[in-house]
Structure 1
């Protein structure tokens, strides 16, 4: 496909993409500003803050950008719902995976909503930062971030005046809502929106939350979630044991399988499942036709490196499918990296609750457009059928990304 034709296609796809979101913005001015904002997030702008976004949009100052984020009349949750619908149109599969994870945004000062000294996974230590929980939708066709919630630490919930200053909704400021609870709310929103959903996957910060696992079991939603070594399992033969003690005491049969491709090639491990009961699950244990598994993952290079996963799945689920879900779980980390490097996810300079959620959902929209443009651009076997969705192969190379950014710059 020629560069000229690709540019025309990408520009047309962007128009269609934004048309699916435009109804969120009831007035012309915020609608135009939203389009300019997303184009700036996609464009080769070095630092996607208010000044540089304004400059890309042709404004002399960031006043209109700041007003758009802080005071204009539009709802970021409505944009979230519209974005989720757009993503589902192109990526939905019955075996789609919702992935929960969090990321930190390092900040100075104490004014931005939710900022506090707290653990930041990006540095592995306590930092002055904001932490947000995200939900990604992942299938073999592609992956996109589709929901987000800013975590509000106890120090904020205990300070009503501070919450009022940053326009934090009273309902959210009343009490600390745990990160797993924020994740559960995102899953519920996807269920109500009828997002095709086969699995939920998450790391141990969510896997160790028994209430979250029980809620999924009651709804017959399969999951694969990492758990810490001090989580317990139960069998009639062993009673209650920590997962590491159980894995050492019971014969396990490992098989080598590859999951999602990483930066250094396929991620291969040795895997062993064992049927167990997870304390704290849904009342009466797994629903009929479902079972609990402990999945043990062992490093090939260093067999001493072992990880443990709680699995709730249909009784006839092959281990290859569980490993596939494990591979897609890592995709949200790639989504964070791309959103921060290419779509300005962490470039914001806002303080209030609404402005934060607005910037973040616009950045997620930019990422979703890039993801789906990538999907639609791969292997266009029929040049006269630009709307065909081909089978995924390789992502856009750097030259193609540059052409896409040039096409959307105006």
Structure 2
């Protein structure tokens, strides 16, 4: 953990022209990795030992340092170390998704009344598009972020100046922001087996065309009304295609979309070939309520096209939600109190650096710390005497690091509770899997 921290801070050093902001950025990263209940300018400055928040505010608002360059450093660090973590070769997925932060007033760059997933509906806030790097069975981290700015903010000179918008900034949809994030990742030499995303990105024709032009496979969610062209030139919506071609039970197969915290996430799946030889509709059906989800897929020439591979790629979209949860709850991704466009992005990249350090540390320790007992094979099976331990998580890595670098609480006490939690979670997972066997 300490080695990963030192390596990333060393790699970030050239992004700063002066030593003062470089040292302050290191303090900022350590502060967001700490156990502070809230992470804002005041609490971070107090944790860093500063006499006032001035240095922290200067770091975000006025100091000269290369924000895009720092984002690139964090991106390469996270992707390279997740790929280098022990384990067999697995699928790598670039997951696109947006996350919001509620804001008051109208003085923040990009703030507007809009749909906010974090608020559960329409609320005042800002939205940012993220790219996550996910390696199956290993780990995941956020490696790119671009804030969505409403068109009226860019065209209004007063708003543009007061919120610090770049002079060359042009309006971009979330799909176009995703194109920019993928371009940055490819420029840094980061490749993906698949790109995944929800309906916002699946219905963006420009994004799909961009991916196909670059021969990049994708599995993108689309709405039930999304129009497909099937063999013979038949034009149908996704819902109509399922009704026509997936009526018999033999059209569906039960497969896992991946391992969840409580066991395998099993669904019924079907796929339908479209008029193009490399395009498919992948349909997921919930086994209890029959709810359908649709994925439009593209696999370029020379790559294997199998149903299990598409299902695995579709199932690897959900870890980006875990990255959001960890970044917000553990590192304060949504706790910034900045107003300016550049300051907001600087807060994000420093939080993403803290998340990347913990994520790659957890990935490196995963094979050594996973001692879970074998899963049950029959409903009435007796539980094992020792359920073992789940692998170290990002949250546990963070707790242990803080205990090792501070005097309270003791590292021994923190390690005891870490083992207790992981054993309890391993036991809960075992019983949950047995309950699923009984239900099946």
TM-score range, shorter chain: 0.7 to 0.9
Q: 1:241 aligns with which of 236, 240, 247?
A: 236
Q: Which whole-Å CA distance do the structure 1 matches of 2:347 and 2:292 have between them?
A: 39
Residue 160 of structure 2 is aligned to residue 163 of structure 1: yes
Partners of 1:97 and 1:200 within 8 A in 2: yes
The Cα of 1:233 is off from its aligned counterpart by 0.5
Partner of 1:130: 126
Partner of 1:294: 281
Partner of 2:205: 210
Q: 1:109 aligns with which of 105, 108, 122?
A: 105
Q: Which whole-Å CA distance do the structure 2 matches of 1:378 and 1:312 have between them?
A: 32
Matches within 5 A, 1:1-20: 10-20=1-11
Deviations 1:134-169 (A, max 9, x none): 001111221110110010012312312111111101
Partners of 2:361 and 2:397 within 8 A in 1: no
Matches within 5 A, 1:219-234: 219-234=214-229
Go from structure 1 to structure 2 and tell me whether the alpha carbon gap of 1:165 and 1:298 turns closer, same or farther (over 3 Å shift). Answer: same
Partner of 1:340: 328
Residue 268 of structure 2 is aligned to residue 270 of structure 1: yes
Q: Which whole-Å CA distance do the structure 2 matches of 1:273 and 1:80 have between them?
A: 38
Structure 1: give runs of 5+ residues left out of the alignment. Answer: 1-9, 278-284, 382-392
The Cα of 1:316 is off from its aligned counterpart by 3.3
Go from structure 1 to structure 2 and tell me whether the alpha carbon gap of 1:408 and 1:199 turns closer, same or farther (over 3 Å shift). Answer: farther
1:168 alignment partner, SS class: coil
Equivalent residue pairs, number: 377
Go from structure 1 to structure 2 and tell me whether the alpha carbon gap of 1:311 and 1:65 turns closer, same or farther (over 3 Å shift). Answer: same
Go from structure 1 to structure 2 and tell me whether the alpha carbon gap of 1:169 and 1:258 turns closer, same or farther (over 3 Å shift). Answer: same
Partners of 1:14 and 1:369 within 8 A in 2: yes
Q: Which whole-Å CA distance do the structure 2 matches of 1:11 and 1:220 have between them?
A: 39
Runs of 4+ in 1 over 6 A off after TM superposition: none
Go from structure 1 to structure 2 and tell me whether the alpha carbon gap of 1:20 and 1:272 turns closer, same or farther (over 3 Å shift). Answer: same
Structure with more contact order per residue of length (Cα contacts < 8 Å, sep ≥ 6): 1
TM-score by length of 2: 0.82
The Cα of 1:236 is off from its aligned counterpart by 2.9
Go from structure 1 to structure 2 and tell me whether the alpha carbon gap of 1:348 and 1:399 turns closer, same or farther (over 3 Å shift). Answer: closer
Residue 345 of structure 2 is aligned to residue 357 of structure 1: yes
The Cα of 1:122 is off from its aligned counterpart by 2.1
Partners of 1:97 and 1:325 within 8 A in 2: yes
Matches within 5 A, 1:243-262: 243-251=238-246, 253-262=251-260
The Cα of 1:195 is off from its aligned counterpart by 0.6
The Cα of 1:68 is off from its aligned counterpart by 0.8
The Cα of 1:258 is off from its aligned counterpart by 0.8
Q: Which whole-Å CA distance do the structure 1 matches of 2:209 and 2:366 have between them?
A: 40
TM-score by length of 1: 0.87
Q: Which whole-Å CA distance do the structure 1 matches of 2:154 and 2:5 have between them?
A: 40
Partners of 1:207 and 1:225 within 8 A in 2: yes
Deviations 1:263-294 (A, max 9, x none): 443211111011014xxxxxxx5xxxx61000
Partners of 1:39 and 1:408 within 8 A in 2: no
Partner of 1:307: 293
Go from structure 1 to structure 2 and tell me whether the alpha carbon gap of 1:400 and 1:115 turns closer, same or farther (over 3 Å shift). Answer: closer
2:278 alignment partner, SS class: strand
The Cα of 1:237 is off from its aligned counterpart by 4.2
Partners of 2:164 and 2:342 within 8 A in 1: yes
Q: 1:145 aligns with which of 113, 137, 142?
A: 142
Q: Which whole-Å CA distance do the structure 2 matches of 1:396 and 1:125 have between them?
A: 31
Q: Which whole-Å CA distance do the structure 2 matches of 1:164 and 1:183 have between them?
A: 25
Deviations 1:158-195 (A, max 9, x none): 312111111101221x4x21000000111111122221
Q: Which whole-Å CA distance do the structure 1 matches of 2:143 and 2:344 have between them?
A: 16
Go from structure 1 to structure 2 and tell me whether the alpha carbon gap of 1:18 and 1:106 turns closer, same or farther (over 3 Å shift). Answer: same
Partners of 2:102 and 2:119 within 8 A in 1: no
Go from structure 1 to structure 2 and tell me whether the alpha carbon gap of 1:162 and 1:399 turns closer, same or farther (over 3 Å shift). Answer: closer
Q: Which whole-Å CA distance do the structure 2 matches of 1:40 and 1:399 have between them?
A: 17
1:170 alignment partner, SS class: coil
Q: 2:178 aligns with which of 180, 183, 191?
A: 183
Q: 1:395 aligns with which of 392, 395, 417?
A: 392
Partners of 2:362 and 2:397 within 8 A in 1: no
Matches within 5 A, 1:82-93: 82-92=73-83
Partner of 1:7: none
